[in-house]
Chain A
Amino acid sequence: MNIPQDLKYTKTHEWAKREGNIVIVGITEYAQKEISDVVFVETPKLGQQIERGKPAAVVESVKAAFDIYAPVSGKVSKVNQSLESAPGIINEECYGKGWFFEIDMSYDDDWNQLLSADQYSDHLKQESTKH
């Protein structure tokens, strides 16, 4: 399972990347595989205030819908427009072209709450033993 070291993670399988005060958000390879072929993404609106741990987007496969939770609180500053016409890029490049949205982070402390790549990897191991 590919878990890039330079990213931060949530237990709900989002990744986050920080550039100054801006946090870029996507879903992990594990999530992408669980969801299987993404057919539609309901992204948040530009300028919308979102709250850490609350649903911010919805990803649909043919047979299911999944909530995507905000890793940090803040204002949505950018949305990946290409997801609308080509949602499949989430399956192809979940850590690259398949990013979801950017957040202008409200509280710096939110960032410190996120998991490191190693912590996330441990979390995945724990989850798989539960099943």
Chain B
Amino acid sequence: MHFHPLTDADKDEMLKEIGVSGFNDLLQGIPSVLRHPKLDIPAGLSEFEVQNLLKERLGLNQSQSDLLSFLGGGSYDHFIPSAVAQIISRNEFYTAYTPYQPEASQGTLQTIFEYQSLISELTGLDVANASHYDGATAVAEAVLLALRHTGRSKILVSSSLHPHYRQTIRTYLKGTPYIMQEFAFDENGQFSREDFMKHLDPQVGGAIFQTPNFFGVVENLMGVSESLHEAGALLIMASHPLSLSVFKSPGEWGADVAVGEGQPLGLTTQYGGPYLGYFAVARSLMRKIPGRLVGITQDSKGRRAYVLTLKAREQDIRRERASSNICTNQALCALTACVYMTLMGTLGIREVAEINLDRAYYLRAEISKLPGFHVNVNLPIFNEFVVRSDKPFARISEILKSHLILPGINLDEFYPEMKNHFLVCATETKTKGDLDRYVEALSQC
């Protein structure tokens, strides 16, 4: 095995040094009935045999490189500059552990600091952490933060919040004294202000608004933070991060917490993970934010140094009194996002958002011209929108498959009342030719 350097001679010499006659002598502490179970694992493969196996197995997949995909819904196909993969593949980043030894981890620590700074810019909030597992878990942790901070028991979420996020919150709250209540959206997919206000009672510790929401609609949150703050509750916002260079930031809307899926910031869709959850809070909540934080200080010679800080909040110190059990962050994914945002720069991050808008608005307008398909062209969107079809979605999906097109996400899986509604996404990676091909294929349904 080419990963294991000990030769038989090494082993013999080392066992002799240890003072035992054979390896099994080192296992004496393990009850003999437990020792050496029979494992059902196939024989090892050489590197090229493994490669052949992988090509064969993964060859059974069709990816977004084989199919023209209009899938979004929390995972997006965005352009990623080649330099991103090159940089994150640097062994010193890739194979380092958590930066517990700052003197030997300035690289990782500084990139996390820069990542925090970039997320803070995007969200317009003061303090961002080093990242969470993904959008859903970041939202769930934000819920726990809001309820603990306010000492309240109820969290409100819009029914247009990503279904996986709502399901994850429900899982996290099961068996705790906390409950989640949903408020409705209207016929346009925008949150119902009336229903929201109806649910806002003194037990509410916070409310989550996603914008653009799961249906792609950019919400108007005028007055929402005021209502929540008056009621002693927090505003939590979840957004597609690239939309924030064009649309009002959580900070501008008066949010206390901004969380969401960071995958669009330079990560491939890779069948759902690893992604990263971004997490930012207003300064007043700095001590309540879960997860790692990197700060700047000085070394003993007065030079700038980057360190993990405010550590006394975390599980390795507070154990059962920690506010979160989170240990790892998604450091490599945060690095990916950091490199991506740095390469895009102020100009690129704005331009990519504008191209998303261009593609989505164009595609929606073209589909609106097709008989049998219905869209609302008046709603503000970023890169996704809902299409209602007169024909069954299964049939549309079948026909588009023959054109090698993935038409979108079937919404009745999540909203049974939304029969034959599907969610269509068009990012900057789509050309006009791609969009026209899609519209042409739909017209044949």
A–B: direct contact at CB < 8 Å: yes
Which stretch (A59-67, A91-99, A122-130) binds chain B? A59-67
B369 within 8 A of A: no
Please state if B317 and A64 are interface contacts (CB–CB under 8 Å). Answer: yes
Nearest opposing residue in chain B for A60, CB measure: B312
Majority-rule SS of A interface residues: loop
Measured CB to CB, the nearest residue on chain A to B309 is A62
Q: Is B11 an interface residue (CB 8 A)?
A: no
- A126–B287 Cα gap in the complex (Å)? 36
In whole angstroms, what is the CA distance A63 to B307 when docked? 13
Contact B287 A65 (CB under 8 A): no
The answer, yes or no, to whether A42 is at the interface (CB within 8 Å) is yes
Complex: how many Å from CA A64 to CA B321? 12
B287-310, CB < 8 A from A? 287, 310
What B residues does A65 contact at CB under 8 A? 312-313, 317-318, 321
**A42 → B minimal CB distance (Å):** 7
| Those of B304-356 within 8 Å (CB) of chain A | 310-313, 317-318, 321
Q: Bin the interface of chain A by size.
A: under 10
Bound together, the chains give a CA A104 to CA B321 distance in angstroms of 28
B239 to chain A, nearest CB (A): 31
The residues of A that contact B317 with a CB separation of less than 8 Å are 63-65
Cα of A65 to Cα of B311 in the assembled complex, Å: 9
- The one of A42, A61, A62 in contact with B287, judged by C-beta atoms closer than 8 angstroms, is A42
Q: Tell yes or no: A40 within 8 A of B by CB.
A: yes
Mark each residue of chain A from 46 to 64: 1 if its CB lies under 8 Å from any CB of chain B, else 0. 0000000000000011111
Q: Which of chain A's residues have a CB closer than 8 A to the CB of B310?
A: 40
Tell me if A89 counts as interface (CB < 8 A to partner B).
no
Chain B nearest Cβ from A81, distance in angstroms: 15
Which residues 69-115 of A sit at the B interface, judged by CB distance below 8 A?
none
The number of residues on chain B lying at the interface, defined by a beta carbon within 8 Å of a beta carbon of chain A, is 8
- Give A24-51 interface residues, CB cut-off 8 Å to B: 39-40, 42
Chain B residues with CB below 8 A from A62, complex form: 311-312
Q: Using Cβ atoms and an 8 Å threshold, which residues of chain A touch B287? A: 40, 42
Contacts of A61 in B (CB 8 A): 312
Report the bound CA distance from A62 to B317 in whole Å: 10
Give complex CA distance A113, B433 in Å. Answer: 83
In the complex, which residues of chain A have a beta carbon less than 8 angstroms from the beta carbon of B312? Answer: 39-40, 60-65
Q: For residue B321, which residues in chain A have a CB less than 8 angstroms away from its CB?
A: 65
CB closest chain-A residue, reference B314 = A65
Which B residues are CB-close (under 8 A) to A64?
Answer: 312, 317
A73 to chain B, nearest CB (A): 20
User: With a CB–CB cut-off of 8 A, which chain B residues contact A42?
Assistant: 287
Q: Which residue of B lies closest to A55 (CB)?
A: B321
Give A69 Cβ to nearest chain B Cβ, in Å: 14
A39 to B310, CA, bound (A): 9
Bound CA span A101–B5, Å: 61
Shortest beta-carbon distance from B305 to chain A in Å: 14
Q: Which residue of A lies closest to B319 (CB)?
A: A65
Q: How far is the CA of A61 from the CA of B313 in the complex (A)?
A: 10
How far apart are the CA atoms of A62 and B54 in the complex, in Å? 47
The interface centre, meaning the residue of B287, B312, B318 with most chain A CB atoms within 10 A of its CB, is B312
User: Complex formed: what's the CA distance from A65 to B317 in Å?
Assistant: 7
> In whole angstroms, how far apart are the Cα atoms of A39 and B318 in the complex?
15
Closest to A61 in B: B312
State the CA gap A61–B312 with chains docked (Å).
7
A39 to B324, CA, bound (A): 20
Chain B residue nearest to A67 (CB atoms) is B321
Closest CB of chain A to B93's CB: distance in Å?
26
Min CB distance B296 to A, Å, is 15
> B112-124, CB under 8 A of A: which get 1 and which 0?
0000000000000
B369 to chain A, nearest CB (A): 60
Interfacial chain B residues near A39, Cβ < 8 Å: 312
Which residues of A have CB within 8 Å of B311? 62-63
Separation of A89 and B318 alpha carbons in the complex (Å):
24
How many whole Å from B308's CB to the nearest CB in chain A? Answer: 10
| Residue of chain B at shortest CB distance from A42 | B287
Once bound together, how far apart are the Cα atoms of A40 and B318, in whole Å?
Answer: 14
* Minimum distance in angstroms from A25 CB to a CB of chain B: 21
Chain A nearest CB: distance from B214 CB in Å?
A: 37
18 more A-B residue pairs beyond the given contacts A62-B312, A63-B311, with a C-beta to C-beta distance below 8 A: A39-B312, A40-B287, A40-B310, A40-B312, A42-B287, A60-B312, A60-B313, A61-B312, A62-B311, A63-B312, A63-B317, A64-B312, A64-B317, A65-B312, A65-B313, A65-B317, A65-B318, A65-B321
List the 6 closest A-B pairs by CB distance, nearest first. Answer: A60-B312, A65-B312, A65-B318, A65-B317, A64-B317, A64-B312
- Residues of chain A having any CB pair with chain B under 8 Å: 39-40, 42, 60-65
Partner-A contacts on B (CB < 8 A): 287, 310-313, 317-318, 321
16 contacts between A and B (CB under 8 A): A39-B312, A40-B287, A40-B312, A42-B287, A60-B312, A61-B312, A62-B312, A63-B311, A63-B312, A63-B317, A64-B312, A65-B312, A65-B313, A65-B317, A65-B318, A65-B321
